[in-house]
Amino acid sequence: MSESPNRPGPTAKQWAVLLALMIVSSAILIAIFLVIDWFPVAGSNVSDEIDTFWDVLLIVSIPIFVIVTGVLLFSVWRWRQRPGEEELDGPPIHGNAKLEVIWTAIPTVIIAALCAYAAVLLLDIEAAPAKGTRVVNVTGVQFAWSFETNEGDRKIKANRLVVPVDEPVQFKVRSRDVIHDFWVPAWRLKVDAVPGITTSYSLTPTKTGTFDIVCAELCGLGHAYMRQTVTVLPKAKYAAWVAGQGKPAAPAGGGESAGLSAKELFVAGNPSVGATACGTCHVLNAAGTKGATGPNLNEMIPKSDSKAAIREMIVNPNAEITKGYAQGIMPANYGQVLSAKEIDELVNYIYDDVQGKG
Ligand code: HEC
Ligand SMILES: [Cu+2]
């Protein structure tokens, strides 16, 4: 078989055009990508550093993409098969040592530099928190987060995360069941909640407002619903919130019965035993809750249902699934973590409201 002609590479003029095109398109692409608003508001002291890192990655990667694509397209055009060459074999080429050294060395330098930058950034973000930093214990359970913090002699437990602005916080993250991941996109950091160990990160919220908390690790059927919010308050408002929370920590040995009323349980649950608030997922008029993950209890429970039937739905949620909803979303642990009395009271509370006697 005969060979096709060995066509030389680009002429000086082609090089010039190619280079100009690459520079212009890199500049345009970088401009477009930097203008795009990739992230939610920057709400913590580390958000800006992380966003800058992202910008640097874009600025470095776009020219590489353009060079690779440019060389590829030029080669397809320059060394395409011409009419009459269908039967010819390509010219024998034995590689190009100089080229290979260059295309190995340059990426090595780029990757090493980016890794060094990332490592410095990571060390900075993961620096140990100063002594006395406020600690918030975060516990993940299918499919909700609960939070606990000490303010002086008060132990504050809540299904809501509230923190003051401009004060460092360390989050100690745990899980009661499977792996979850505690992520507040506005703060940029996330960490897995792994059963059996405590993971953590620290940051300083820098913006007041309400931001999403998202579970970032597929953790079961209700994973998509494992969303809550964090409220960052000005210091004075935070102090007022703390003052309005519960009573001083119960003396040790207080046991499981926190003596919560049915309404308290429905609205706020009992994070210390792992009981997720019913109201996160259910509408109940008496409780004034608006959760939409599970059925509206006022509308879905027939008036003919007995207390025993309602009790069964709470203790054994997967025995019978309400039409239109998936199994495995409603926590199945209430029978274990609530006392019989607490469940009785919850049943009466729901029953009365459904009957219109609430
Ligand atoms: C994470 C969300 C979630 C939480 C928290 C939750 N539920 Fe549910 N619940 C559901 C879903 C989803 C269903 C429908 C599927 C099923 O039947 O298991 C449901 C079904 C029910 C039903 C049956 C309703 C009907 O259609 O007849 C009752 C009653 C109920 N829940 C009560 C409660 C009570 C009381 C609590 C708190 C102690 C609670 N739920 C907590 C999600 C939740
Ligand atoms: Cu989760």
CATH number of the structural domain spanning residue 321: 1.10.760.10
**Confidence (pLDDT) at 259:** 63
Closest atom of ligand 1 to 338 CA is 38
Q: Which residue has the tokens 């429905």?
A: 266
- Residue 266 CA: which ligand 1 atom is closest? 37
How far, in Å, is the centroid of ligand 1 from the Cα of 139?
Answer: 21
pLDDT tens over the chain, length 358 residues: 577 777 788 888 988 999 999 999 999 999 999 999 889 999 999 999 999 999 999 999 999 999 999 999 998 988 888 888 888 887 777 888 999 999 999 999 999 999 999 999 999 998 888 888 999 999 998 888 989 888 877 788 877 799 999 999 999 999 988 999 999 999 999 999 999 999 999 999 999 999 999 999 999 888 988 888 899 999 999 988 888 776 544 444 333 445 678 888 888 887 767 788 888 889 999 888 888 888 999 998 888 888 999 999 999 888 888 888 887 788 888 888 888 888 999 999 999 998 887 5
Query: At a CB cut-off of 8 Å and minimum separation 6, what does 24 contact?
Result: none
Backbone angles phi, psi at 271, to 5 degrees: -55, -30
Residue nearest to atom 32 of ligand 1 (CA): 314
The pLDDT value recorded for residue 91 is: 77
Confirm whether 224 is domain-assigned.
yes
For the entire predicted model, the pTM comes to 0.65
Burial of 3 (0-12, 13-18, 19+ CB in 10 A): exposed
State the total domains in the chain.
2
Residues in the chain: 358
The set of residues, in sequence order, having a beta carbon less than 8 Å from that of 134 and lying 6+ positions away, is 149, 163, 167, 168, 169, 170
Task: Tell me the residue range of the domain where 214 lies.
Answer: 134-243
Tokens of 148: 């606990």
Shared-domain flag, residues 220 and 280: no
In this predicted structure, what is the pLDDT of residue 1? 56
Q: CA geometry: angle at 221 spanning 216 and 223, to 5°?
A: 20
Report how far ligand 1's centroid is from the alpha carbon of 294 (Å): 6
pLDDT at position 217, please?
Answer: 94
Answer yes or no: are the C-beta atoms of 156 and 242 closer than 8 Å. yes
User: CB under 6 Å to ligand 1: residues?
Assistant: 143, 222, 276, 278, 280-282, 293-295, 297, 300-301, 310, 313-314, 317-318, 321-322, 325, 329-331, 334, 346, 350
Contact 174, 188 (CB under 8 A): no
Confirm whether 102 is domain-assigned. Answer: no
Residue where the block lists tokens 């519960």: 246
Which ranges of the chain does DSSP label H, i.e. alpha helix? Answer: 12-35, 47-78, 97-125, 235-243, 262-268, 297-300, 307-315, 334-337, 340-354
Give yes or no: residues 164 and 202 share one domain. yes
Residue 268 located in a structural domain: yes
For residue 247, the model assigns a pLDDT of 53
Judge if 232 and 277 occupy the same domain.
no
Q: Which of 297, 305, 330, 350 to mutate to test the pocket of ligand 1 (most atoms within 8 A of CB)?
A: 330
181, 215, 243 — which closes off a domain?
243
152 and 229 share one domain: yes
Q: Which atom of ligand 1 is nearest to the CA of 297?
A: 24
Cα gap 74→306, rounded to integer Å: 77
113 CA from centroid of ligand 1 (Å): 52
Ramachandran sector of residue 196 (left: φ over 0; alpha: ψ -120 to 50; beta: rest): left
DSSP 279: G
